[in-house]
Structure 1
Amino acid sequence: RITSDVPPDAENPFAKTVGNFCGLAGAIPDAIVRGTGLVHQRTGTALDIFGEHSITGGLFSRSNRRIVDELVDRCNEHIDIRIVPPERDRFGRVPVNARVAYESGVAMIGCDCGENSSDLPKLVEIGAEIHKNHSLPTLNEVVDRVCTRMALRLIDVAVEQGLVLKNSSIGFTGRAAISGRKPEYILEGITERNLFDNPNDHVVFVDDGLARGAALMGRCMNSLGKPKNPIGGVRGGPCIMSRRIKIGK
């Protein structure tokens, strides 16, 4: 999700949800690798082949790089990333109420493949072609690059909606963003977009965003950290506990 900015001295220290993401993520690379025949046709995943790390085959030549770029472009032709239209009740297989989100001022950014995953078989075909004509490292590179472009396209839509500020932080979780060389490529893309003066201070990759966030909240609630430099709260601001207590009374 995307939350609004909160001035450090705001009486109400809580941000509002101004954006949300929905749709497909790991299903995209899974569809590509299912075309190889190396994983189960219905339940196989990219992790079944690559694990958490990339399969490398040395440096790619210029011709191989061109092949990878062409394959990535073909995959992305089927991947639909945009603000979910109000009339849609599903986007990427996920039930949504886009009209209510729109009326509530929440930008719902969706990722689909065709319409409600209708083009996933096209990705399976591309995966089969890669496995037949190219190497496993090429397949790995295509998967990493496709997922990277998905992540950056999601960010681009958020930027177009004015939802990414200079003091924003961007967090990535899930295998579609943190496995292989995806973090490296995603960080490169964010750096190229000049969204932040120092991207390393604004981008984080975590294995489980929900669990990590809950752990940080638990630490903040247990007063771990310092009042002037707490774990949690508003970026650059002091502990917000006193304001939370005041609002709760």
Structure 2
Amino acid sequence: MSFLSKIFNKGPKPVIAKSREGNLATLTAQKAGPASPGVVKKPDTFYVTASVELGNTTTKCIVMATNLNTSESYLLNKTVKMTRDIRQPKPGEKVFGKTVWGIELSKEAVTELVKDTVLESLRKCNVDKDKDLDFVVRSTGVTAGFATAEEAGQLIIALADGCLEADIPPRKMSPAMSISQLPERLQKHSLLENIMFDGAVVSVVPPEGKETVANEMEGELVTAGIKLGAKWTDVDYRNPCVSLDFGSTLAGRIVNNHEPYANTIGNFLGLAGVVSDSLAKGSGLIDKKNGAALDLYSDKAMKKANHKKAQVNALEAHKLINIRKVPMDVERFGTVPLNPEAAEKAGTTLIGCDVGFNGDKLDELMELGAQFYDSDGLPTLLSTLDYVSTNIVTRLLDVAFEEDVIVPGSSLGITGRAGITGRKPQLILESVQDKFENVVFVEDGLALGSAIMARCMNSMGTPKVPIGGKQGGRCILKDRMKMNGGKFA
């Protein structure tokens, strides 16, 4: 930091990729004109996807349109509902899981919530599910309330049923097997004749063998989403990279620099936003069962915070927070089901964040939040939440470096409510800038990941503006075709 920066207390400025809003009718109505004298610009084609996500705190349907010439994505609509408002299971309905806060879920209740959320989102942005919508991807952050990693897959099925109830055709939820199965306007943008989808998403393959952790898909999507979101910035967030998703629970990946496909050599899991939620509940200003830190946040209040006291409070809170490499003798860490033996066989290091043992000290964290609120007030409590999240990031990365799983030159990407709100981007950047040259914060990483996964599943890359591959490198299409024996390889 320069001398003048120190005087004026100005640290490095975080790079934040915010969702750019758009209207499908306006975007598609823009006619391509000459880019320069004698040069005609290619007409823009937009790929419209819906990301349906059931999280511990919120349930969302996010509709996005991606320009297939530039890989730039536009937010058409984001419909958000509080998961705590899902109806209770009716008599005779089987409860197959629950959120991290104990909200019970039945297949029928999830199906209804998803159906209503999807239809509302499409209606608000005037996207016709038959004519305009190209693909729907389902995902969930609710992995803690299941007995095994396999059982968490039942929730994905319930999400699919909700989409079907909303009259989304099954063909829009599974990859095309040939170009002829795609709408005519998209066929020229697909490379299905050259290479089929082989499981790699933006040039990263998941761990081999059995599922290692219940939130594996979430980690895959957020990593891909941060790559797509970074296209709005100057940050080259390609392999090697590290991703962290701070939703209610923690997800993310550590990716190496192998070519053409990189490997997942580390997974993050456990508790994240739940930590801040517990401290916030201690204030008594939000519901102690279903409240979230989001309910409490205020920019105005933050201006009155005592940040030095907040740092001290955060260190006190971290005495209850357990961050480490996941041991081999557990089936859960931070309430998330996992398989340490499968992870070891796959060469994947699991790094977790817990409060006590599987969240058994969350109540103590809530009591600590009450003490902070009573002694320091709301503004300093809110600042404490920022420092708590920052310290979680720092400790997670410290473990990863100690385990020697982060490749030199890796870029760092962060998404999720407990990682990008308030002063967190600034504080996190200050704490990691000596370890990472490239750091980017991305809104709606999971939804962006769904948008790019849909494209990967239908081989709709942008070779001139590659999202996959290595930092500073070219498109890896030719290498992929050679490896897989594709047409023209």
Task: Return the TM-score normalized by structure 1.
Answer: 0.85
Output the CA distance in 2 between the equivalents of 1:146 and 1:124.
14
Distance in 1 (alpha carbons) for counterparts of 2:328 and 2:398: 20
Q: CA deviation at 1:136?
A: 1.3
1:77 corresponding residue in structure 2: 319
**Which structure shows the bigger proportion of residues in helix conformation?**
1
**Is 1:165 the equivalent of 2:401?**
no
Deviations 1:208-237 (A, max 9, x none): 2233234456399545462xx533322111
Which runs of structure 2 are paired with 1:1-249 in the superposition (5 Å)?
1-6=253-258, 10=259, 13-50=260-297, 55-58=301-304, 60=306, 65=308, 67-191=309-433, 194-196=434-436, 199=437, 202-216=438-452, 218=455, 221-224=459-462, 226=464, 230-249=466-485
Supply the AA of the counterpart residue of 2:427. Answer: Y
Q: CA deviation at 1:87?
A: 0.1
- Contact 1:54–1:180 (CA under 8 A) maintained in structure 2: no
The structure that is strand-richer by fraction is: 2
| Change in 2 beyond 3 A, CA 1:231/1:96 | closer
TM-score by length of 2: 0.45
Aligned length: 231
The C-alpha deviation readout for 1:81-122, integer Å capped at 9, x for no partner, is 000000011111111111221232210000000001011111
For residues 157-190 of structure 1, give each alpha carbon's deviation from its aligned partner in whole angstroms, at most 9, with x where no partner exists. Answer: 1111112233211111111111111111000000
- Per-residue CA deviation, residues 1-49 of structure 1 (Å, 9 max, x unaligned), is 111122xxx4xx0011100011001100000011111111111000011
CA contact (8 A) 2:305 2:379 kept: no
Where 1:20 maps in the other structure, the secondary structure is strand
Change (3 A) 1:237 1:221: farther
3-state SS in 1 of match to 2:469: coil
Task: For 2:477 and 2:303, locate their aligned partners in 1 and report how far apart those are by CA, in whole Å.
Answer: 52
Quote the Cα distance in structure 2 between the aligned partners of 1:99 and 1:216: 31
Per mean C-alpha deviation after superposition, the further-off stretch among 214-223 and 172-181 is 214-223
Could you tell me which runs of 5 or more consecutive residues in structure 1 were left unpaired when the two chains were aligned: none
CA contact (8 A) 2:256 2:406 kept: no
The aligned amino acid for 1:24 is: L
Partner deviation per Cα, 1:188-217 (whole Å, 9 max, x = no partner):
0002xx223xx3xx2111122233234456
Q: Give, in whole Å, the separation in 2 of the partners of 1:116 and 1:57.
A: 35
Tell me which amino acid in the other structure corresponds to 2:415. Answer: T
5+ residue gaps in structure 2?
1-252
State the alpha-carbon separation in 2 of the partners of residues 70 and 181 from structure 1. 16
The separation in 2 between residues aligned to 1:188 and 1:216, in whole angstroms, is: 30
- Measured after TM superposition, the shift of residue 124 of structure 1 is 0.3
Code of the residue aligned with 1:236 in structure 2: it is G
Q: Which has the higher contact order (CA 8 A, sep 6+)?
A: 1
| 8 A contact 2:305–2:380 mirrored in 1 | no
